[in-house]
Structure 1
Amino acid sequence: MALYDLGGARDDGLLEDLVTFAAELCNAPTALLSVVEPEEQVFLARTGTDLERTPRSQSFCAYAMHGSRPMEVHDATQDQRFADNPLVVGAPHIRFYAGAPLSTREGVPLGAICVLDDTPRDGLTPFQARGLEILATTAMARLESRRVAREQGEQRRKTAQTRAALAESELRFRTLADTMPQMVWSTLPDGFHDYYNARWYDFTGAPAGTTDGEGWNNMFHAEDQERAWDVWRQSLATGDPYQIEYRLRHFDGTYRWVLGRALPIRDGEGNITRWFGTCTDIHEQKLALEEREVISQELSHRIKNIFAVIGGLIQFAARAHPPLAPLVADLRARIAALGRAHDFVRPHSPSSRPSAHQDSLRGLIEELLAPYQALPGERVTVTGADIHIDDRAATPLALLFHELATNASKYGALSTPDGHITVHIGREAEQSHIIWQENGGPPIDPAIAQTTGFGSQLIELSAVRQLGGAIRRHWRPAGLELALDIPTASFSRASRSE
């Protein structure tokens, strides 16, 4: 009922003329237009009485409003519904009642327009009854018009509030965006650029509006334009976040490296309504990284040369002591393995970087065992999960797998043409497991199985002392099976922080 502003309708006298005419039409001393509420009935218009409201329990209209035609009570004292009603027993001593129902456009009973008399009557004439129905329809039409006007006014108010809120939000956004050190931009859902903050124009020196639409791509270095377009189109097609590094033209005519990022804004149904992005000047960081990479590569190259020099010195010294030649060969092989491990994890340029990820345990194992097979997978297969490693773990791992491969080439699976080794990696949160399994080698010599020479000690040193793991050996008829249980945190600094 609040939608109709019934109190306002009563105060404005919106329906007074209707009840006055109803009284005249029906030749009745009293006429009312009532709204029946849960606890009481309220009179929006009245003539012939000073009553403003009565309890619902005394309401005749509470019965009339549920009908489809006017309800008439010829003599209330003879109607068991109303015979003991205080309005019948006492003032105003109602005897005759006739009321036409008021219903909302949704069919909800609202009340009635009625006439009263303190004298019993035979009823309304057909003309009077029809007139009372027309007055009820007219009353509801006026209330509905008031409701529509009120709803339209409320909608206009909400629209004005929404526009004001959007304008304020836009002002806040632009103020915030203009104070940010990054360049900020936005696009329509189809990627049309329609906003740049002040920082963009300060950086590029471009006149306002000249980079709207597709004009932004002309600000990129010629070598980056096609790549930038491809990445942007991919984001527009998939809705994936946009991120790319490119060279952006500075106002002084030079090109500076910039990190571009953008995210889509979606509505409640998941549709993209806008893209918001930033451009961050990373030119100095980019140059610093390039300089550091050059220095790292130079240092790594020198360390690699040191491995070669050490191997050469050992070989030179061995010439004076021929009996030490087998020991020297083993030592040089171990140094070479360390060199390969260092070369795998050291900083690389794009042209020298290994094909496998440099933080990959599987990649390191395949690199270390590559000399024992002509083609990948021919003699050695690495299966299972992968584990992130860094330079600290690379050294003990290189020594460990070099010793296992050396022993396999002398006594185990790699000493025969048909032998094969499988390395299986299992990764868990706290503990990881590596299974070294040889197949197709010669029968195991019990004497060799019981040997605890320098190589075996080196395996123990690498796995147990340096990596904090445990070793289990099982001499099967098909070949050695060695199980390594190593804390996952020992493989890299990143694993320790997880």
Structure 2
Amino acid sequence: MDEAIRAAAMDAYDLESLRNSAALNRITDFAAALCEAPVALVSLVEETRQTFISRSGLDITETSRETSFCAHAMLGDHIMVVPDATRDPRFVDNALVTGDLHIRFYAGAPLISDDGIPLGSLCVIDTKPREGLTPLQMQGLSTLADNVMARLRDSRDAAAWRATERDTRRRLIDSEDRFRTLADTMPQMVWSTLPDGYHDYYNARWYEFTGTPQGSTDGEGWNDVFHPDDQERAWAVWRDSLTTGNPYQIEYRLRHFDGTYRWVLGRALPIRDDTGRITRWFGTCTDIHEQKLALHEREVISQELSHRIKNIFAVISGLISFAARSRPDFAPIAADLRQRITALGRAHDFVRPHSPASRPSAQQDSLHGLLGELFEPYRRDDRLPITITGDEIAIDDRSATPLALLFHELATNATKYGALSTHDGAVDIAIARDGPLVTMRWSERGGPVVVEPVGVQGFGSQLIELSAVRQLGGTVTREWRAAGLVMTVSVPLTAFSRT
């Protein structure tokens, strides 16, 4: 492979904008978790080095190319698996094997550009030999590699768009002929319209993609090549841009010359004169069909993994019940433990990836929604004795578990000893965001007279401290009022969600 061609291809991807990006970090984090490996990398192989633009479980950012496993993996058509590097003649004397990194197991999915240029690999690494990956892990790693390439293409397309926008503005001053020459050499479909939206120009790529006769899509004829289900939506977005002057961006299905429909990303910007009046619209259409398919496949895998985790909760709960039947003295503890596991299962089921049919009615990143799901078993007839008010706080899968444990323990204690132990008792939960903190106030009323307990903390109280203080980084204060327990939990806003 000509290294000059490879270097030029890498330059087109604007790699610096992707280095340590959140999107790629999520991919390497998921690859490491999926393959149960301590290290996952997006490695791009340059002329003398390999550089890691995303990494999980590793501090270094690059190594020399001569020690690179990925330099071998990128040349193949499939995932390269090295079960034990000390038994592989290619790597037995490799410094990454004999040195501090102590690489033993390696699996790398090649990253290949659309025109067949090897760029590097998405790999997972372990310091212990392994037999290989499971079929699901192999499929998942390939899917994640496709997603990495989609991110690289997005970066390349964004860089090309920025360059095109600059070039277009400059070349329009010179002549329309120069613009047409430029547009016809672009990999994307390029079009332009008059200020009222009348389409009067398409580049050669448009006609190659759609297979339509020259000039047949001028005016409003372009809408005929859209998928019937997307036509009304595309028209609505385009009319809004024409009315407001806002940039145009939409994904839709465009009829390919072979008769199939492919997903395309349409973008357009207005050109304005010195007075701010729109003089023209210039736009592009980028084929994103493979990216859409890869993302869909990734969602399917995520849903399957989460479904299996949900089943594990059910299995554990069943094992506890089975053990309790043979040990009657264990039954009270087993009941508490089973309820805690059920609460964790409900929290996981609330935030896990869902299909449209299984998705909960409440918004999945909603603290109010999570609490409503957790407290549903406490409903009495048609009345829920627990009221939730105040600010809405966004949550994610990381915070859902400690929040579920925290409020499950509070509700359980209230059912045994507090307000929920009586028919007319109730609990009020007030949530307030105050700068960098979120305060959650649990107030019981209508129950038996409360007396502050004396002695060692019970296991439930310890769980509350574990969840609120150690896992969420918050503080807990209790007020043992005669009318009912009031507990205030203050937690940093950043603990609720990664974003």
Q: Same fold (TM over 0.5)?
A: yes
Aligned counterparts of 1:165 and 1:320: Cα–Cα separation in 2: 83
Aligned letter for 1:490? Answer: A
| C-alpha separation in 1, matches of 2:382 and 2:172 | 62
Counterpart of 2:481 (choices 469, 476, 479) is 476
Is residue 244 of structure 1 aligned with residue 250 of structure 2? yes
Spell out, residue by residue over 1:127-183, the C-alpha distance to the aligned partner (whole angstroms, 9 max, x if none): xxxxxxxxxxxxxxxxxxxxxxxxxxxxxxxxxxxxx98551534543443343332
Q: Which residue of 1 aligns with 2:431?
A: 425
Question: Using the alignment, how far apart are the partners of 1:439 and 1:174 within structure 2?
Answer: 75
Other structure's SS at 1:212 match: coil
Work out whether residues 313 and 345 of structure 2, in 8 Å CA contact, stay in contact via their aligned partners in 1: yes
Q: Distance in 2 between matches of 1:167 and 1:377?
A: 70
Aligned to 1:277: 283
**Following the alignment from structure 1 to structure 2, what is the Cα–Cα distance between the partners of residues 430 and 481?**
22
Query: Bigger shift: 346-355 or 406-415?
Result: 406-415
Is 1:456 matched up with 2:479? no
Task: Give 1:451 deviation, angstroms.
Answer: 6.5
- The aligned counterpart of 2:334 is 328
Name 2:496's counterpart in structure 1.
Answer: 491
> Residue 488 of structure 2 aligns to a residue in which SS?
strand
2:357 to 337, 351, 361: 351
Q: Distance in 2 between matches of 1:217 and 1:165?
A: 29
Q: Structure 1: which amino acid aligns with 2:448?
A: P
Partner Cα separation in structure 1 for residue 447 and residue 273 of structure 2: 65
Counterpart pick for 1:341 among 325, 341, 347: 347
CA contact (8 A) 2:248 2:267 kept: yes
1:130-141 aligned at under 5 Å gives the runs none
For residue 218 of structure 1, report the CA deviation from its aligned partner.
1.0
Indicate yes or no: 2:370 matched with 1:364.
yes
8 Å contact from structure 2 (residues 196, 242) kept in 1: yes
Partner Cα separation in structure 2 for residue 237 and residue 378 of structure 1: 48
Q: 1:283: how far off?
A: 0.8
Structure 2 CA distance for aligned equivalents of residues 255 and 457 of structure 1: 58
Return closer, same or farther for 1:477/1:347 CA change in 2, 3 Å cut-off: same
Structure 1 residue 427, shift from structure 2 partner: 2.8
Which residue is equivalent to 1:380?
386
Q: 3-state DSSP class of the match of 2:326?
A: coil
**1:170 equivalent among 176, 193, 196:** 176
User: What does residue 206 of structure 1 align with?
Assistant: 212
Q: Residue 381 and residue 190 in structure 1: after superposition, are their counterparts in 2 closer, same or farther (change >3 A)?
A: farther
1:409 equivalenced with 2:387 (yes/no): no
Deviations 1:404-431 (A, max 9, x none): 1111222223233333323222335533
Indicate conservation of the 8 Å contact 1:370/1:376, yes or no: no
| Alpha-carbon distance in 2 for matches of 1:479, 1:331 | 26
Alignment counterpart, residue 395 of structure 1, candidates 401, 426, 439: 401
> Which residue does the alignment assign to 1:104?
none
Check whether the contact 2:378–2:384 (CA below 8 A) recurs between aligned residues.
no
Q: Distance in 2 between matches of 1:480 and 1:402?
A: 15
Runs of at least 5 residues in structure 1 that lack an aligned partner in the other structure: 1-163
User: What is the CA–CA distance in structure 1 between the aligned matches of 2:414 and 2:312, rounded to whole Å?
Assistant: 28
Distance in 2 separating the partners of 1:371 and 1:267 = 63
What TM-score do the two structures reach when normalised by structure 1?
A: 0.61
Of 458, 461, 467 in structure 1, the residue corresponding to residue 472 of structure 2 is 467
Aligned equivalents of 2:274, 2:379: Cα separation in 1: 58
For residue 224 of structure 1, give the secondary structure of its aligned residue in structure 2: helix
C-alpha displacement at 1:306, in angstroms?
Answer: 1.0
CA contact (8 A) 2:451 2:480 kept: no
- Equivalent residue letter for 1:462: S
Alpha carbons of 1:378 and 1:290: their partners in 2 closer, same or farther (altered >3 Å)? same
Residues 474 and 294 of structure 1, relative CA distance in 2, 3 Å threshold = same
**1:256 offset after TM fit, Å?**
0.8
Q: Take 1:336 and 1:176, find their aligned partners in 2: how far apart are those partners?
A: 62
Instruction: Check 1:443–1:295 CA distance in 2 against 1; reply closer, same or farther (3 A cut).
Output: same
Q: Give 1:302's aligned residue.
A: 308
- Counterpart Cα distance in 2 of 1:225 and 1:237: 18
Query: Quick one: distance in 1 between partners of 2:277 and 2:236?
Result: 22
* Equivalent residues of 1:183, 1:280 under 8 A apart: yes
- Give distance in 2, aligned partners of 1:265 and 1:179: 21
Backbone CA RMSD of aligned residues: 2.7
Equivalent residue number for residue 65 of structure 1: none
Q: CA deviation at 1:284?
A: 0.8
Identity of aligned residues (%): 72
Matched to 1:188, the amino acid is L
Cα distance in structure 2, aligned partners of 1:179 and 1:376: 67
Residue 22 of structure 1: aligned partner: none
In the TM superposition, residue 347 of structure 1 has moved relative to its aligned partner by: 0.9
Once residues 346 and 498 of structure 2 are traced to their aligned partners in structure 1, the CA distance between those partners, rounded to angstroms, is 21
Q: What is residue 132 of structure 2 aligned with on the other side?
A: none
C-alpha deviation, 1:211, in angstroms: 1.1
Look at both structures and tell me which one has the larger radius of gyration over its CA atoms.
1
Instruction: Note closer, same or farther for the CA distance 1:264–1:165 as it changes in structure 2 (3 Å cut).
Output: closer
In structure 2, the gaps of 5 or more residues are 1-169
Within the alignment, does 1:182 sit opposite 2:157 as a pair? no
Q: Which deviates further from its counterpart, 200-209 or 225-234? A: 225-234
With 239-248 and 200-209 compared, the bigger mean Cα shift is at: 239-248
Query: What amino acid maps onto 2:353 in structure 1?
Result: P
SS of equivalent to 2:258: coil
Q: Which moved more, 1:200-209 or 1:222-231?
A: 222-231
Aligned length: 330
Aligned pair in 2 of structure 1 residues 167, 469: CA closer, same or farther (>3 Å)?
closer
Distance 1:242-1:165 versus aligned 2 partners, 3 A rule: closer
Q: In the alignment, what sits opposite 1:222?
A: 228
Deviates more, 1:211-220 or 1:197-206: 197-206
Q: CA deviation at 1:382?
A: 2.5
Is the Cα–Cα contact under 8 Å of residues 376 and 384 in structure 2 kept in the other structure?
no
Q: 1:166 to 1:180 in 2, by over 3 A?
A: closer
Query: Out of 220, 231, 238, which is 2:237 matched to?
Result: 231
CA separation of 1:244/1:354 partners in 2, compared to 1, >3 Å: closer, same or farther?
A: farther
Equivalent position SS for 1:493: coil
